[in-house]
């Protein structure tokens, strides 16, 4: 048996998505910038995709810019807004994805901004009171906080964070890579200036994503070159990727309630089975609380044991694909920056299970069985 439980890393392509992508890899091969019929056919496919995504998110097509994925969308929002809007200060947290963290740290290192980190508690929750005092001291900052944390699944209250940013005239970039396609985003309600998406996190193709830019916010391109994306992102478009992205988001929204129920069921099942079969098991961040974390992510903390180092390897041998991550015990180890910030005991092993619509109860049961067996063996040896 095999179990792919690493859907926060990437997801399997939906066959319905592949079907709409294939013609753009074969007969519809024009360059969308060409004015002949081959080019025009592909151009209209791209614009249909843009319109569809905008409609789903309650935005206008001109507010959607296609990119090579989440990282480029995050980089564009951050680097272009700092450069164009003359912002001198940014606020983020230490548990952001590296697409955000490393970008902001680079801007700080090169003297383009001052960077402040909002406090988080040991559960990984953002201290919104501290965010407010940082904003009081530095109005008109760039605030970059993620919606759903990819390692521990913590969810940010976008309404509260958005209100605070609005009150302080801050520019709010929210990394929505882990929630796009899994939660509904209504851009008429959200107070974010930028949100992002990466198709491969919701059963679309890899290497394509998008950036939403609030109208009225005029920013320079991040990738310079041709006039594609209305001069905002040079380079011949990833045409099959863009068409696949739109289809994947359409399916995600069409089937969201059914899939959410199914996936939540898997997460609850795994939580209960782990608690029943491994003594001392815990959950990192808010991952064990359904309403406060991504329903797709369960970050498990296992009691210290001799098998910790080999855990992921042994699970892989058993056909189970998951992600790991450790808090570091010595200065030389790097470990997971998120788990380190949550001050997790470095002797405990951590496994991130992340679920998707194709997972089954059998896969969940199998993964728990293998994990429990590994721990059981360990106890007998000792």
Distance of alpha carbon 313 from alpha carbon 280, whole angstroms:
22
Site membership for ligand PLP, residue 124 (CB under 6 A): no
Decide if residue 146 touches ligand PLP (CB under 6 A). Answer: yes
| Contact pick of 7, 11, 52, 71 for ligand PLP (by CB under 6 A) | 71
Q: Does 249 engage in binding with ligand PLP (CB under 6 A)?
A: no
Using the rule CB under 6 A, is 238 a contact of ligand PLP?
A: no
Of 95 and 281, the one with the shorter C-beta distance to ligand PLP is 95
CA distance 201 to 182: 9
Distances (CA, A) of 289 to 8, 153, 264, 265, 295: 18, 10, 11, 13, 9
Choose between 6 and 127: whose C-beta lies nearer to ligand PLP.
Answer: 6
Three-state SS annotation for 184-214: CCCCCCCCCCEEEEEHHHHCCCCCCEEEEEC
Minimum CB distance to ligand PLP smaller for 76 or for 359: 76
Query: Which one of 69, 181, 244, 288 is in contact with ligand PLP (CB under 6 A)?
Result: 69
Q: CB under 6 A: which stretch of 51-59, 63-71, 226-234, 289-297 binds ligand PLP?
A: 63-71
Stretch that binds ligand PLP, among 65-73, 133-141, 185-193, 286-294 (CB under 6 A): 65-73
Q: Which residue has the tokens 């994947």?
A: 248
Query: CA–CA separation, 288 vs 268, rounded Å?
Result: 9
* 162 binds ligand PLP, rule: CB under 6 A: no
Contact 162, 190 (CB under 8 A): yes
Tracing tokens 């030389």 back to the chain, one arrives at 332
**What pairs with residue 116 in β-bridges?**
91
d(CA 267, CA 252): 19
User: Does residue 97 bind ligand PLP (CB under 6 A)?
Assistant: yes
Cα separation, 359 vs 46, in Å, equals 31
**Any contact of residue 99 with ligand PLP (CB under 6 A)?**
yes
Residue of this chain nearest to ligand PLP (CB atom): 70
Closest of 147, 126, 191, 196 to residue 296, by C-alpha: 147
Contacts with ligand PLP, 165-184, as mask; x by CB under 6 A: ----------x-xx------
- Helix, strand or coil, per DSSP, at residue 379: helix
Task: Establish if 70 lies at the interface with ligand PLP (CB under 6 A).
Answer: yes
CA-based torsion, 143, 10, 301, 333: positive or negative? negative
Interatomic CA distance for residues 33 and 237, integer angstroms:
9
Q: Kindly state the tokens that stand for 325.
A: 């991550």
If one asks whether residue 198 binds ligand PLP (CB under 6 A), the answer comes out as: yes
Identify which range of 70-78, 111-119, 284-292, 329-337 contacts ligand PLP by CB under 6 A: 70-78
- Residue closer to ligand PLP (CB basis): 198 or 370: 198
Which member of 269, 328, 346, 369 is catalytic? 328
Q: Is 192 helix (H, G, I), strand (E, B) or coil?
A: coil
Check residue 250 for interaction with ligand PLP (CB under 6 A): no
State the minimum distance, in angstroms, from the CB of residue 363 to ligand PLP.
Answer: 21
The reply to whether 150 sits near ligand PLP by the rule CB under 6 A is: yes
> Which residue is listed with tokens 């815990």?
282
DSSP state of 155: B
Between 71 and 286, name the residue whose CB sits nearer to ligand PLP. 71
Whether 328 is catalytic is yes
Q: Please give the residue ranges that form the binding site for ligand PLP (CB under 6 A).
A: 69-71, 74, 97, 99, 146, 150, 175, 177-178, 198, 209
Q: Which residues are catalytic, by number? A: 328
């Amino acid at each position: 048996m095999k179990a792919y439980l690493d859907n926060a890393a990437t997801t399997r392509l939906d066959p319905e998505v592949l079907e709409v992508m294939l013609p753009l890899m074969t007969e519809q091969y024009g360059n969308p910038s060409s004015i002949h019929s081959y080019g025009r056919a592909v151009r209209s496919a791209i614009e249909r995709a843009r319109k569809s995504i905008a409609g789903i998110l309650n935005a206008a097509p001109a507010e959607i810019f296609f990119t090579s994925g989440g990282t480029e969308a995050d980089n564009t929002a951050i680097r272009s807004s700092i450069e164009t809007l003359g912002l001198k200060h940014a606020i983020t947290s230490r548990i952001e994805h590296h697409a955000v963290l490393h970008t902001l740290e680079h801007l700080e290192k090169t003297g383009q901004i001052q960077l402040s980190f909002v406090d988080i508690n040991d559960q990984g929750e953002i201290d919104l009171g501290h965010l407010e005092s940082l904003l009081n001291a530095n109005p008109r900052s760039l605030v970059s906080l993620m919606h759903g944390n990819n390692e521990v699944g913590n969810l940010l209250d976008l309404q509260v964070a958005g209100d605070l940013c609005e009150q302080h005239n801050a520019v709010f970039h929210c990394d929505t890579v882990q929630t796009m396609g899994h939660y509904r985003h209504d851009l008429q309600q959200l107070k974010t200036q930028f949100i992002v998406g990466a198709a491969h996190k919701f059963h679309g193709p890899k290497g394509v994503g998008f950036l939403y830019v609030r109208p009225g916010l005029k920013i320079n391109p991040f990738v310079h070159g041709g006039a594609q994306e209305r001069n905002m992102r040079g380079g011949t478009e990833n045409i099959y990727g863009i068409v696949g992205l739109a289809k994947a988001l359409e399916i995600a929204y069409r089937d969201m309630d059914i899939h959410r129920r199914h996936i939540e069921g898997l997460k609850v099942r795994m939580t209960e089975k782990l608690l029943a079969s491994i003594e001392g098991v815990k959950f990192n961040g808010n991952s064990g609380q359904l309403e406060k974390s991504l329903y797709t992510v369960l970050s498990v903390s296992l009691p210290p044991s001799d098998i910790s180092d080999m855990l992921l390897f042994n699970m892989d041998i058993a056909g189970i694909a998951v992600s790991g991550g450790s808090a570091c015990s010595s200065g030389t180890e790097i470990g997971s920056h998120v788990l380190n910030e949550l001050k997790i005991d470095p002797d405990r092993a951590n496994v991130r299970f992340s679920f998707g619509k194709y997972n089954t109860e059998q896969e969940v049961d199998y993964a728990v069985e293998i994990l429990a067996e590994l721990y059981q063996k360990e106890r007998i040896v000792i």
